[in-house]
Every structure is written in structure tokens, then in C-alpha cells.
Structure 1
């Protein structure tokens, strides 16, 4: 396509094409756009193609007051000017804000939420884990589409998407509308959308950081980011994705140096003729007499090779291979040795090196392959061989013991990834832990505070739909007993029999009118040596079996006293 003009920047993906022109004078911009559209018409005619002028749209993007622009034509028809345009699933407006995209995404997801309501009810339907998986795969995936671009939107706009997730959690557990969001997140083990958006930004930043030097993102995003970093007097509310990543890292006490981004890239994949040089063996037969078999194999196939033993993946570090290279040079000069047999008990590492062109190959494997190839190019013969672990092979046992001693002494090992990537990973972990702790602290619920990390509560998977609704509402504290009704609806909060405040503890343990109905629960607690409390009645026992049985007895008790939960 004839989009080689320096002033015209194209974006082409299959049959969705766009180009934009940047300038200070609107008339000049429209004139250049018309010239480009005419060139595209001629190219399409020569290629026996045809553009659709009815689907073609033009948009003027500016913070200034936009006057009525001149007409644009394509194939003899006038091109319509719009204020909102949808490209590759993202809606862009002429002020470069994401309000329209957020509104459209929210409305679309609300329609999808109707499917959740259709397959579940208060007392019937699938378990919460199925409903939450349906939500994450079918609804949340749409909520998070283009979340990297949405990083520049204000928080008040993005928070509109949170209501969709909150509704899904209420449907999954049968919760009341007043249930705290933090408690629902704690029980389900899901992260809030803002935390996930921040995680996506940091993941994308690390991906761009390791991209090739000629990657278009580094020229289109990194360089503008450097200009902004050098102009600290510039103030604005919105941030580009890398500027947002810089802000997130700064909150964790770390910094990003964008000037280093252009000098860091992933190691290249070796060509096929270099891969053929690597000798990786994984077909060593396991036998009872493993030591004699190993000695026979060395004598037959690798006589004269220098043996080097490693302890699985942690030993494949760049410094380790550099030391091997130095040792090979010294042994070559001292003993005339240039053949090495590297033995490891990690079959996955050897298999990865054999399949170096697999799609999911890691950075560590590429660096390892590159370093071994350098040894081979220098005239050395290198064989990487898998051996079964813990079978009495002297060198393998010694390597295993040294690795254990290093871990016990706190010896650090240099990572393959650059320091900035390790810092990003560390920041992501810190953010997850801090956010989970914040959710639990803000909720203030005794069941949420007992959790050490954000994970789903297991008892719900073994309960019926009606039992899930009762237990969840009682655990959240938003159930139909007197104190809750008084707080939410202004009704009388006293027990109709005892004339004391009807709290959750009073309803489950203290009310004398229901003593007969509690006998079955007390009998089970005596049998299993369980201390009867509100926590144990709602599933906080030492093992999952007792927790589930106590929840079932609690639901049976609630149905007997005919309390509306």
C-alpha cells in the first residue's frame, strides 16, 4: 500500500486499515489526507480491489475548537466525519478519552451478564466456581480488552467497569446488594479490576523492554516517553502506558530508566544449522544397577570427556556457563581437553534445548543455548546428558548437596533477565500482596481477616445452591437478622422472643427459643471435639470435612427456625 510518506502513519491489520496525519494547520492536514486517499484508490484499482466508501470514516482529533473541515471524497463519494470511531475493537473519540469505549464495553458486558442470571437462581443453579469461571472467560476478558490503552483514562471512568464484576460476584454467591465488595473478592479469590489493569501494564512494559531494538513500539512509545521524562514541568492528568508503569514502580520504591530500554533485547533464536551442533541426550535407561550402567556408557561413548555435573534448572545461570567456558579453556591448555559431558538430573531442561524452536521457549533456555554454541564454535565438543537423580552417581550427588548448601546459606544467584525485569516482577508481587491485605483490612470481616492470601473459600464447592446463599450471607454479616435489618432498613432490631438485639451470634447460639433445633449441631460438635462458635458453625474448622458438615447443619438449623436469611 502507498503509505510511505513520513507525515502519514499507517496502521494495517488484515482488512482493517487506518492512517493518520499530524499537523498544525487543519486545511493542510485535510489536503494531505485527500492526496493519500486518492493514492489508495489508484493502488486498489491496480490490485483489482475496491475500498468501501460507506464504511470509511474521518475524524479530526484535537483539544482545540474544531471548525467544520473541508470535504473528503473516496471513490466519488463523500467521506463522513465522525466524533467516535471503532478500530480493532477499541472506540476512539476526537478528544482521545476512553469514555465511549468504557460505556460500550459496560453495556455489552451487562447483556452478557443476563446469561449468568438465566442459569442460576437463589436456590438452584451451578456452583460458584463454575459461574466465576464463566464470568472470567466470557465477561472479564471483554472488560480487560485494550486495558493497556485504557491506562491513560481517569480512574472515575474506569471504575464504571467494576460494577459489572461486583454484579457477577453477587450472582455467583447469592449475595445481597449491600454486601461489601472487599468481602466478595476475599471469598472468591478474584482480584479487583484496577489491580489487574496495573498488572497488565507492568507485564506489557517488561515485554516491550525485552523486545528487539527495531520493535515499532520502542520507537513510537519509548521515545515520546523519554521526551516527557526530560520535561518534568509538563503537567497533565492522563498517562501513557509506560509513564503509568513508571508511576506504579515508583510507588513500590523502584524506578524505570527508559534510556536503557533501547539497549535491552531478548536473545536471538539460533538458526537450524547451529541447533544441529547441540547434542542433547534424554534416552538414558533407568536400571537398578544405575552406577555400573552409567560408567559403561561413559567408557563406551564419552571416553576422554571432562565431566561437569549440575543440579537442574537453578544451575543454568549465565555466570555458571561463563565459568564452564573458562574451565574449558584452562583444561584445554593444561590437559589438552576440549570435550565436555554436562550431566543434569533435570529432563525438562535437556528436552527444552532439544526443542529450541518451540513457541513457548523461555529466555533462560535461549541464553543457555547461545552460550553452549559459543563453546562449540571455539572448537569444543559439548554433550548435555540427562541422568536419573538420587541414584548414587557421585558427581550428581555432590552437585545436589552444593545446591542445598547454597540455598541454606542464602547465596544469591544472578538471574537471566535484566535487573529491571526482576524489579518489575518483584513490584507485581508486592502489589498483589499489598492489595490483598488492603481488601481484607478494609472489609474488617473476621472471616476475611483470617486469610493469609487472596484465594477462594473451598467450602462452597461442596454445598448446594441454597446452602451457599445462606452461609455466604451469614459469613458476610449481611443476612436477614434483626441488627442488619435495623441498620439497613430502620426496622426493629430486637429478637421477637428475647427482646434483646438479634445479632448473628444471638441467632445462631444464644436464643433460648431455638435450643431444641440446635441439639443436632451440638451433638456433632461433641462427637468431633469441635468448639461451638459462630466461626465453626460457618465453616472455620480445622479440616474441610468438618467445615462442610457444620455448614450443612447450620443451614438445616436456619431452615428449622424459619429465619429469612
Structure 2
């Protein structure tokens, strides 16, 4: 049943929680559990050993060594520059609504005009004396700098604060990438060249370790559920429609057949029409009491597979058909 909606089982969630918590303790050098899991755990009777369970799950998922090189840092209470009036973060450009909906030439013109107007070249020449403008196409970095939760940018935040002391104003301006802005294109090229160089191996941060754990568990889940279709049209529906289609597909619903056969609720499994039992096959396909509604939503006969596993439009029609007679699904 988990393959239909693509949900993790409770066992998989338990494994994820154990490994993430174990990794977190490894990153908390001053926590009592860090010393406990570092030493050889004592075997106890009648009780599952947390360290042994975590190590067993870690081994089964074939995860790399996630021990940290530096302990977890505490987040800063506020971005250091909040008290510095000469620092400004700008994450938009006048006229630029969505990068995907605009052509490259239009983005280039709007960006170039903004740079010439707000940051004229005469100020840029004396950048380290009067005005400083840092440009970048990673808006997520600017979002992280404004947040108090992202620990990875603590060092960058401190560096920006130090840099601001050398200028009367510092602006962190977002610009769209790959729109033929010279300085930005050079930075992209240097980043690509740096990515092709041999990388120094570092131990994983806690967030990086969590990403690896989640990725490994997702891969494990997909291997155990090969029939799951990630491109299923059900993912394009609203939450209520997804619930309806999922209940019809799995048969775990509140129709009379399931309630009576599974929980002995109700007076029997049969449909009020008396023709057959009321289940996920009978209601959308055969029930004579719903012939008028069925003709309204499906003027031409449809197979059950199309109604429950077809396109997003077909699934939406099935959900509307169920809502029409106020059926409790």
C-alpha cells in the first residue's frame, strides 16, 4: 500500500530518526551521549542498544563515515549586520518577475540598466574606498544570510560584517545568472574550473550528513518498492483528491464492504442498490443508483484502470464523481 502514495513506513522513519540522532550526538562534542557512543557500548539484557542499532542501520545503508571534523556551531542570534546601517541586501530587480518566463535578452537589459543606475561605474572603480557592491546569482545564499537558522553561513556573515567596516556602504545585490553580465560570467567560469580540480576531502557537516542519510533511505525505499511510479498523475492533484484516489486504489476506505468485512461496522457489505457489495470497483463503475452521475462525468464508457490510474484530468473527474453524491470515501 505504501507504493501507491509513495509514503515511508513507520520502520523507515524509525531508522531515519535513529541514524540522524546518532549523527547529531557525534557532532555535539560536549554532549554526554557523544562520549557514550564513542566508547564501546555495554551489552544490556532486555533492552535494545541505541548505539548498536544505529551502527547496524548505518552499515546496512552503506553510508560513509559521517564523523565531524568540527562540532556543531550554535546559530547567531541575529545577522551581525542588522546593527550596521551601511549593509543592504537586495534580492529583486525592477521588472524581473520570473526568470523562467522571461527571455535572456530581456533579463540582460533589465539587469544591465539596474546596475548602471544603482551602481554607476565611477563608484565601482573606488569600490573599496566609498561604495561596495557584491553581485551574485545565488539567491538562496542571500536568504540564508538573513536567516538565523543556517549555520553554514556564519563565517560568511562575520566576513561580510568585517568587510563593511572598510566602506561607507555595502550592498549584496542578486542578479539572474547566465544573462551575459561580464563579472558574473567570469565568476561562473572560475567556479566551473574550480569544480574540476581535485577536491580536498573534508568530514561531513551535520546538515550534509542528514542529506546523505535521507538520500540513502530514499534509495533503499525505491529498491523495495519498484512498482512505485514517481511520475504518477496523482501527485498533480490537490490533497483532498489524492486522498480520495488513494483510498479507491488501495481499498482502504469507508465504503460498506471494507467497514463491514474488516471491522464489522454496519449492517452488511452490500450497496443500497442491492446489486452487489459496495466497494471501490462497484461505486465508480457499476452502481445503478449513480448512473446519472456516471453519465454526466463519463459520457463514454471508461475502464476502471483509466479512472484510477489515468491522467491528472481523469483522476480529477473520478474524485469529483465521488464528491457529487456525498459518498463517504
Give yes or no for TM over 0.5.
yes
Partner of 2:141: 349
The secondary structure found in structure 2 opposite 1:385 is strand
Cα 1:341–1:198, aligned 2, differ >3 Å: closer, same or farther?
A: same
* Aligned with residue 39 of structure 2, among 222, 227, 244: 227
Partner of 1:266: 72
1:419, 1:278 → 2: CA distance? 36
* Aligned with residue 385 of structure 1, among 163, 172, 181: 172
> Does the 8 A contact of 2:22 with 2:54 survive in 1?
yes
2:280, 2:92 → 1: CA distance? 64
> Does the 8 A contact of 1:268 with 1:366 survive in 2?
no
1:400, 1:235 → 2: CA distance? 55
Cα 1:462–1:485, aligned 2, differ >3 Å: closer, same or farther?
A: closer
TM-score (norm 2): 0.59
Partner of 2:25: 208
2:231, 2:10 → 1: CA distance? 21
1:343, 1:385 → 2: CA distance? 6
Q: Deviations over 1:329-384 (max 9, x none)?
A: xxxxxxxx9x986422445634654x5xx632x1221132355678899x999956
Partner of 1:51: none
Cα 1:414–1:249, aligned 2, differ >3 Å: closer, same or farther?
A: farther
1:247 aligns with 2:56: yes
1:532 aligns with 2:302: yes
Q: Deviations over 1:504-534 (max 9, x none)?
A: 757865x7xx67965763564456xxx7111
> Does the 8 A contact of 1:341 with 1:384 survive in 2?
yes
Partner of 2:204: 419
Partner of 2:148: 359
2:212, 2:175 → 1: CA distance? 34
> Does the 8 A contact of 1:280 with 1:384 survive in 2?
yes
Aligned-residue CA RMSD in angstroms? 5.9
> Does the 8 A contact of 2:256 with 2:279 survive in 1?
no
2:63, 2:229 → 1: CA distance? 31
2:91, 2:246 → 1: CA distance? 54
* Aligned with residue 125 of structure 2, among 299, 303, 327: 303
Shift of 1:293: 5.9
Partner of 2:104: none
> Does the 8 A contact of 2:284 with 2:294 survive in 1?
no
Cα 1:300–1:267, aligned 2, differ >3 Å: closer, same or farther?
A: farther
Q: Deviations over 1:383-431 (max 9, x none)?
A: 563143367532224445776x78xxx9699799842643442122321
Shift of 1:252: 0.6
The secondary structure found in structure 2 opposite 1:264 is coil
TM-score (norm 1): 0.38
Partner of 1:92: none
2:92, 2:326 → 1: CA distance? 62
> Does the 8 A contact of 1:278 with 1:383 survive in 2?
no
2:36, 2:60 → 1: CA distance? 22
Partner of 2:14: 197
2:159, 2:318 → 1: CA distance? 59
Cα 1:268–1:371, aligned 2, differ >3 Å: closer, same or farther?
A: farther
2:323, 2:50 → 1: CA distance? 49
Partner of 1:294: 115
Alignment of structure 1 residues 480-499 onto 2, 5 Å: none
1:519, 1:508 → 2: CA distance? 12
> Does the 8 A contact of 1:525 with 1:532 survive in 2?
yes
1:369 aligns with 2:157: yes
The secondary structure found in structure 1 opposite 2:135 is strand
The secondary structure found in structure 2 opposite 1:228 is coil
1:352, 1:193 → 2: CA distance? 32
Shift of 1:556: 6.8
1:433, 1:206 → 2: CA distance? 19
**Residues paired across the two proteins, number:** 298
2:210, 2:77 → 1: CA distance? 31
2:7, 2:90 → 1: CA distance? 43
1:477 aligns with 2:251: yes
1:412, 1:270 → 2: CA distance? 33
Cα 1:449–1:197, aligned 2, differ >3 Å: closer, same or farther?
A: closer
Cα 1:384–1:283, aligned 2, differ >3 Å: closer, same or farther?
A: closer
Cα 1:278–1:395, aligned 2, differ >3 Å: closer, same or farther?
A: farther
Cα 1:305–1:473, aligned 2, differ >3 Å: closer, same or farther?
A: closer
- When Rg is computed on C-alpha atoms for both structures, the one with the higher figure is 1
Contiguous gaps of at least 5 residues in structure 2: 95-108, 270-274
